[in-house]
Structure 1
Amino acid sequence: MKTVFIAGATGYLGRYLCEEYQRRGWYVAALVRDAPRAKSLCADQLIEAEATEPATLVGTMSGADLVISALGITRQADGLGYWDVDYQANLNLLREAEAAGVGRFAYVHVLHAGTMGHVPLVAAKSAFVEALQQSTLPSTVIAPSGYFSDMGDILAMAEAGRVWLFGDGSCLINPIHGADLAHASAEAIAQERPWIDVGGPEVFSLKQVASLAFASREAPTKITLLPDGLRRAALWLLPRVTPRKIHGPAQFFLTAMAQDMVGERHGTHRLSDHFNNTPPQ
């Protein structure tokens, strides 16, 4: 039986990765910070360690055939920032994987990261990818277009009665369900692909996403289009007037939503079903 070591196992994608690899018959070792709180994971072994503290990782990957890291933060906590987690913690994982002789290291990145190098979250992830590609370990980089869960902000606005979008709302995206992304990732890893840009089966404009959100709540569609200059102004202002836990994620989403985010189409889950099955907030 092959063994996979999954970091970021308690996150949105990490949970689906654990399920996917258990379904495939792998022995799943999940890296967690608090084992008692992670008992619901589909994992054969819970490894309690801190990826930000390399000494706690020593020996944890012994016998692993594959390491997958979905480790990262969207909202800073514990005084840690993107360079502490998205870069350095992943680098700690990579160095331990090298020492353990792991067969392959897979990392969950961001689609079109090259156009978002000025965004701190993306810059930290990209710096790690550079280190990963310089490693002697074979690797797979998974770059998703966006998760179904990311569309929750649009659904929340629809529930409040109006969706606010920048520009003309025509930018395209094919967000992907976590189960579909886990399956596509496992397939790409099995095929030893070095990189995959991946999205869901359906491509929407942001206006269409908003319309789906209103339809799921059986509410009239009310969309207000704001000048893109306001988005650019917000990108300049937010780091100056808000804490990192607010402006960090906002910088990423405001930048990503101003361009097409479409990856290879994978999966079967539909965004409309996701909205319909999401309880009102």
Structure 2
Amino acid sequence: MPIVFIAGATGYLGRFLCAEYRGRGWQVHALVRDAKRAQDLAVDKVIEAEATEPQALAGVMDGADLVISALGITRQADGLGYWDVDYQANLNLLHEAQRAHVPRFAYIHVLNAQQMRNVPLVAAKAAFVDALQAAEIASTVVAPSGYFSDMGDFLKMARSGRVWLFGSGALRINPIHGADLAAATAAATDRGQDWLNVGGPDIFSQTDLANAAFKALGKPAKITRLPDGLRRAALMLLPRLTPRRVHGPAQFFLTALAMDMVGPPCGKRHLDAHFAALAQRPQQ
């Protein structure tokens, strides 16, 4: 039975990756920071270690046939930044994979990264991809357009009664469900594919997303379009006025809002159904 080692296993995508590979007959070894959060994972082995500490990774990948890293941070809460985790921790994983002679290393990146290298979150990821592609190991880079989980912000705004958009709202995205992305990742690694841009089956403009959120809630659509200059001003001011844990993810989302984020369509799960399910949940 082949062994896959998954880093970032307790994150949104990591949980789907564990389930997908387990369902395909792989033995799943999951790297986690806190084993208590891994109790419901579909795994054969839980390895509790800090990827930011190279010595903690010694020997953990021995015998693995594939390493997949979905490791990264969105909101820094413990003093670690993007270069500590998205770059250096992943580099630590890569070095250990090479030492253990793992045949292939797969990494979950982001679509259009080259157009966002001025954004710290993306810059750290892109620098790691550069290192991965220069390393003497077969690699697969998966670049999704966006996750269903990220689209929840539209539903939150709709719950409050109004969705705020920058510019015309015509720019497009086709977000993908974590389960569909996990399946696409498994297929790409099985094929030995070196790079996969991928999105979900349905393409939405930002206005479409707002309308879909209001429809799921059964509310009339109320959309306000703000001048795009406000978005650009926010990009300049947020790093000066807010802590890194706030402006870091905001810089990424505000930058991504200014471009089409459309990957080749894949998957069978639809955002309208996801919004409808979320709309039935009690507000927190």
Task: State whether structure 2 residue 262 is matched by structure 1 residue 272.
Answer: no
Aligned to 1:26: 26
Contact kept? 2:10, 2:37, Cα under 8 Å: no
Aligned to 2:101: 101
Whole-Å Cα distance in 2 between the matches of residues 222 and 149 of structure 1?
A: 22
Aligned to 1:56: 56
After superposition, residues 137-176 of structure 1 pair within 5 angstroms as 137-176=137-176
Whole-Å Cα distance in 1 between the matches of residues 269 and 135 of structure 2?
A: 35
Aligned to 1:43: 43
Structure 1: stretches of 5+ with no match in the other structure: none
Whole-Å Cα distance in 2 between the matches of residues 49 and 43 of structure 1?
A: 16
Q: Which amino acid letter does the alignment assign opposite residue 170 of structure 2? A: S
- How many residue pairs match? The answer is 281
Whole-Å Cα distance in 2 between the matches of residues 77 and 130 of structure 1?
A: 27
Aligned to 1:91: 91
After superposition, residues 160-239 of structure 1 pair within 5 angstroms as 160-239=160-239
Q: Report how far residue 257 of structure 1 moved.
A: 1.1
Question: Secondary structure of the equivalent of 1:265?
Answer: coil
Contact kept? 1:159, 1:280, Cα under 8 Å: no
> For structure 1, which segment, 28-37 or 84-93, has the greater mean C-alpha deviation from structure 2 after superposition?
28-37
Q: Which amino acid letter does the alignment assign opposite residue 116 of structure 2? A: M
C-alpha distance after superposition, 1:181-228 (max 9, x if no partner): 000111011111110110000001010011000000000000100000
Whole-Å Cα distance in 2 between the matches of residues 96 and 266 of structure 1?
A: 32
Task: State whether structure 2 residue 112 is matched by structure 1 residue 112.
Answer: yes
> For structure 1, which segment, 43-52 or 271-280, has the greater mean C-alpha deviation from structure 2 after superposition?
271-280
C-alpha distance after superposition, 1:123-153 (max 9, x if no partner): 0000000000000000000000000000011
Q: Which amino acid letter does the alignment assign opposite residue 6 of structure 2? A: I
Aligned to 2:2: 2
Q: Report how far residue 280 of structure 1 moved.
A: 4.6
Q: Which amino acid letter does the alignment assign opposite residue 88 of structure 1? A: Q
Q: Which amino acid letter does the alignment assign opposite residue 122 of structure 1? A: V
Q: Which amino acid letter does the alignment assign opposite residue 253 of structure 2? A: F
Question: Secondary structure of the equivalent of 1:37?
Answer: helix
Q: Report how far residue 91 of structure 1 moved.
A: 0.1
Question: Secondary structure of the equivalent of 2:169?
Answer: coil
Q: Which amino acid letter does the alignment assign opposite residue 15 of structure 1? A: R
Whole-Å Cα distance in 1 between the matches of residues 193 and 36 of structure 2?
A: 35
- Taking structure 2 as the reference length, the TM-score comes to 0.98
Whole-Å Cα distance in 1 between the matches of residues 137 and 171 of structure 2?
A: 37
Question: Secondary structure of the equivalent of 2:114?
Answer: helix
Whole-Å Cα distance in 1 between the matches of residues 209 and 117 of structure 2?
A: 26
Percent identical among aligned pairs is 68
Q: Report how far residue 78 of structure 1 moved.
A: 1.0
Question: Secondary structure of the equivalent of 2:4?
Answer: strand
Aligned to 2:245: 245
Question: Secondary structure of the equivalent of 1:264?
Answer: coil
RMSD: 0.6
Contact kept? 1:170, 1:205, Cα under 8 Å: yes
